[in-house]
Chain A
Amino acid sequence: MNELIAVLVMLIGVGLVVGLLLFLSNWLGPKRENPVKGEPFECGNIPIATTSARFSVKFYTVAILFVLFDIEIAFLFPWAVVFQSLGWTGLVSMSLFIAVLLLGLAYAWKRGALQWD
């Protein structure tokens, strides 16, 4: 219990000191506003346009397809490592997995998701 009181005392002490310093510098310090002070300083370029520009939905299709096939590769790697011990079962399962993804690719292709224009 005693050591906990020490922590409490320290928390209160620190809070008081920090609060006092912040208050004093705010109270005593001179406030001379000018536009230059309001500018971002050493924070990169001054923005020239709004960041919420709209992208064509085509980018998203490509991105989603990329993620899909990227994850396919992520699944293929561990299989490659234990290829020997899994044997035919592993080969058949992975072939089915890839066949399903191929069907997905064929679908995306046929529906024109890979076409930019």
Chain B
Amino acid sequence: MSLSSLNLPVVAPVITLSLTGFVIVGVSLIWSKVSRHVFLLLSLLGLGLSFWFTTSLWNSNTIAFGGMVVADNYALFFNFIFLISAALSMLLSQGEHEQGHLLNAEYFALMLFATVGMVLMAAGSNLLVLFLGLETLSISLYVLAGIKRTEPKSLEAAFKYFLLGAFSSAFLLYGIAFIYGVTGSLSLRYISNFISSAPLASQPLLLLGGLLVVAGLGFKVVMFPFHMWAPDVYEGAATPVTAFMATGSKAAAFAALLRVLHSLFDGASTDWMVILSVLAVLTMFVGNLAAIAQANVKRMLAYSSVAHAGYVLIGLIAWSDAGTAGVLFYLLVYMFMTVGAFAVLSFLSSRQSEFVMLDDFRGLAFRKPAVALAMAVFMFSLAGLPPTAGFVGKFYLFSAAVKAGHTPLVVFAVVNSVISLYYYLGVVVMMFMRKTLRTLSIPPTVPLIACALLVAVLASCALGLFPSYLMDTIEHFAVHLL
């Protein structure tokens, strides 16, 4: 094997991100007094370059490292989600409340390394690459969750995330071991060939391995029995980290889950569909019902993240090109609206106090009308109300499921959407129809967070009003896995 046969251009997005991370660490070591904004600038530059490489790889459909990594449009589309999510989350780090903890080299380097892990998870067509990607992502996120290291809550978040994450990694690895034991290979392409000759149902160990892999990835997806960590971790971690965790790592885990299931299933297998359907319904109900009771908006968004994992699972269960396209579209849309909602929190948190309680939102529309309007857009979008992107995303997911004959599942999902209206609109009611009780001081506008907010609002509206161009692109180019 020579260097040229590795096909390095295919992993150019990964290499760019890693190198940027190393440069940031190196710069921080050599010039300890360098302005902290240099790191932000460097990271955005690296993300932009990686974005450019991803664009140039579009439609190339190549493989690298002897089939370990693929650059199909599916993986590249996920790259866009990860890169935008990382860039927006980094802009949030300028917020007054967490600035002191976040504007250092470690934060930016770890964010970039976590993005590397995500890109590898989406692009890996070998179970070990997938595992490596997951570990790169997880270990960076464990540290990032505790980056507010003087605050006990942040440390608690990091510790919980680490312990449970280590468990889930073990599940995943155990599952990979079973799959390897039965098929004799870690390559997803080989496994898929193996299964088309010997059906899954006749291989109980393979089924067990598949379940363990689903459990391991389900932890990162925040699926029902593995969701317990989410509220505490989302609440304790710094808001930009939470935004990144809720969007990027969820998308990465879905990317890997879909790819693995594609190689494990030969056509639609009803056993699996039943398991996943039950999990999806429970995920939606647990997420939505628990979110109603939350007084802390970060915790509310954590449970809403659980619920949204359930919606996306429905697209996966539809098991068609339309379903896959729906998953891709929804994860992009979900990224914009969730990062946007967290951006509002970052925007409003002052140095002394974090703006997170539902009561803090009372009368916000009279104090900061523009921000309140943005928050309303995100809440409407998360709830899935018509003019917004969230509605179109849900429409694609649910219609794919109906076409595939999963109507009862969609009925559950619609019921859940109605339940979720209660707590999403609760925030809007607080902002527009209640008088302010106690006033938290709102910090002066940070231009970069305002930028992130604007991008998120525009995307949430634009993708809702004109979804067809993007959706056509996805359906034609991005749903075929290499």
Q: Flag if B3 contacts A103 (CB, 8 Å).
A: no
Mask of A89-111 contacts with B, CB within 8 angstroms, 1/0: 10010000000100100110010
State the interface size on chain B (CB cutoff 8 A).
8
* B1 neighbours in A (Cβ, 8 Å): 86, 89
* B26 neighbours in A (Cβ, 8 Å): 103
Q: Flag if B2 contacts A103 (CB, 8 Å).
A: no
Mask of B16-31 contacts with A, CB within 8 angstroms, 1/0: 0000001001100100
A110 to B6, CA, bound (A): 35
Q: Flag if A89 contacts B3 (CB, 8 Å).
A: yes
A92 to B29, CA, bound (A): 25
Q: Tell me, yes or no, whether A88 is within 8 Å of chain B by CB.
A: yes
A90 to B29, CA, bound (A): 29
Q: Flag if B3 contacts A88 (CB, 8 Å).
A: yes
Residue of A nearest to B18 (CB): A100
Residue of B nearest to A100 (CB): B22
Q: Flag if A92 contacts B22 (CB, 8 Å).
A: no
CB-CB contacts below 8 Å: A69-86 with B: 86
A100 to B109, CA, bound (A): 13
User: Which residue in A89, A107, A110 is a CB contact (below 8 Å) of B2?
Assistant: A89
Q: Flag if A110 contacts B3 (CB, 8 Å).
A: no
A100 to B26, CA, bound (A): 11
Residue of B nearest to A92 (CB): B3
A92 to B6, CA, bound (A): 13
Nearest CB in chain B: distance from A110 CB, A? 5
A89 to B3, CA, bound (A): 6
Nearest CB in chain A: distance from B113 CB, A? 11
Q: Flag if A107 contacts B3 (CB, 8 Å).
A: no
* B29 neighbours in A (Cβ, 8 Å): 106-107, 110
A103 to B6, CA, bound (A): 24
* B22 neighbours in A (Cβ, 8 Å): 100, 103
Nearest CB in chain A: distance from B108 CB, A? 14
CB-CB contacts below 8 Å: B8-58 with A: 22, 25-26, 29
* A107 neighbours in B (Cβ, 8 Å): 25, 29
* B6 neighbours in A (Cβ, 8 Å): 89
* A100 neighbours in B (Cβ, 8 Å): 22
* A92 neighbours in B (Cβ, 8 Å): 3
Nearest CB in chain B: distance from A27 CB, A? 45
* B2 neighbours in A (Cβ, 8 Å): 88-89
Residue of B nearest to A89 (CB): B3
* A103 neighbours in B (Cβ, 8 Å): 22, 25-26
* A89 neighbours in B (Cβ, 8 Å): 1-3, 6
Residue of A nearest to B5 (CB): A89
* B3 neighbours in A (Cβ, 8 Å): 88-89, 92
* A86 neighbours in B (Cβ, 8 Å): 1
* B25 neighbours in A (Cβ, 8 Å): 103, 107
Nearest CB in chain B: distance from A21 CB, A? 40
A107 to B143, CA, bound (A): 16
Residue of B nearest to A111 (CB): B29
Residue of B nearest to A110 (CB): B29
Nearest CB in chain A: distance from B139 CB, A? 12
* A88 neighbours in B (Cβ, 8 Å): 2-3
A103 to B22, CA, bound (A): 8
A12 to B243, CA, bound (A): 59
Nearest CB in chain A: distance from B302 CB, A? 30
A110 to B1, CA, bound (A): 38
A88 to B26, CA, bound (A): 27
Nearest CB in chain A: distance from B342 CB, A? 29
A107 to B1, CA, bound (A): 33
Residue of A nearest to B32 (CB): A110
A28 to B21, CA, bound (A): 74
A29 to B2, CA, bound (A): 79
Residue of B nearest to A90 (CB): B1
A86 to B3, CA, bound (A): 11
A106 to B26, CA, bound (A): 9
Nearest CB in chain B: distance from A90 CB, A? 9
A23 to B2, CA, bound (A): 74
A103 to B18, CA, bound (A): 12
Nearest CB in chain B: distance from A77 CB, A? 19
Nearest CB in chain A: distance from B482 CB, A? 24
Residues on B lying within 8 angstroms of A by beta carbon are 1-3, 6, 22, 25-26, 29
The 16 listed contacts between A and B (C-beta, < 8 Å) are A86-B1, A88-B2, A88-B3, A89-B1, A89-B2, A89-B3, A89-B6, A92-B3, A100-B22, A103-B22, A103-B25, A103-B26, A106-B29, A107-B25, A107-B29, A110-B29
14 further interface pairs, Cβ-Cβ under 8 Å (given A103-B25, A106-B29): A86-B1, A88-B2, A88-B3, A89-B1, A89-B2, A89-B3, A89-B6, A92-B3, A100-B22, A103-B22, A103-B26, A107-B25, A107-B29, A110-B29
Minimum-distance CB pairs A-B, first 4 = A110-B29, A89-B3, A107-B25, A103-B22
